[in-house]
Amino acid sequence: MNFELHNQRILVTGATSGIGLDIARSLAELGAELVLFGRNRDQLAKLEKELGARTLAVDITDEAAVVVAFAEMPVLDGLVNCAGISILDDVLDFKAKDIENIMNTNVTASAVVAREAARHMIAHGRQGSIVNVSSQASMAALPGHLGYCASKAAMDAMTRVLCLELGSKGIRVNSVNPTVTLTPMAERAWADPAKRNPMLAAIPLGRFATPREVALPVAFLLSPAASMISGACLPVDGGFTSH
């Protein structure tokens, strides 16, 4: 079984922070050549030096900018759709504009990037892999997460449709669905025991995920070891969605 990614060039969106940053670092450790999309130019410059990556400051919600970025894209073997946002509010208080923004980034923009990546792979004769970073929120109702849950459920549906339509081209499409993942932002957000402890109690393993515990399943799905896996939505949630 080959879990390494040598000689594979992989695009990672949302690579300048959070889970996307750890995914980029893990893929680099496994030998991948990286192209990184993000909006933080300073962080992109640091990652260019740290990982030897090609970096592009791209707002993926700007369809025209994404198309332009792909016009000069080196040949790709994989895509990790990791860019995303979350705006939390109770169902009696949410604003339609907030849900629109969540769906625009997490679904529409991710679909556009996947479309362009698939076109690019096909044009260059590549049989590649796309991994969408979804969430346990696609599989279970979470209070305050109406827009986010809806967007990640839509991403999983998108994963299945992409799998169906791109399979004949040799392109595999899967998603990973993590639980709370302890990025620096999440550590702050879940610091309050009153919020943290009920969620931990619902996870059979009794703990949250580390970013690397999400990054390595992504790497597996990109790798030749997962060559017959497509259309899967893989929980990386310590068992949260098992009950």
Catalytic residue numbers read 148, 152
CA torsion angle 106 27 46 65 (round to 10):
-40
Token output for 39: 């909006």
Distance (Å, whole) CA 200 – CA 206: 5
Distance (Å, whole) CA 19 – CA 30: 17
Q: Which residues contact residue 62 at a Cβ distance below 8 angstroms, ignoring those fewer than 6 apart?
A: none
Return the SS3 of 133: strand
> In whole angstroms, how large is the CA radius of gyration of the chain?
17
- The angle, 0 to 180 degrees and rounded to 10, between the axes of the packed helices 18-29 and 41-51 is 20
Identify which of 55, 165, 150 has the alpha carbon closest to the alpha carbon of residue 115.
165
Return the SS3 of 127: coil
CA distances from 46 to 7, 35, 50, 55, 226 (A): 23, 13, 6, 10, 31
Distance (Å, whole) CA 103 – CA 108: 6
Q: Which residue type does 101 have?
A: N
Element of type H or E holding 241: none
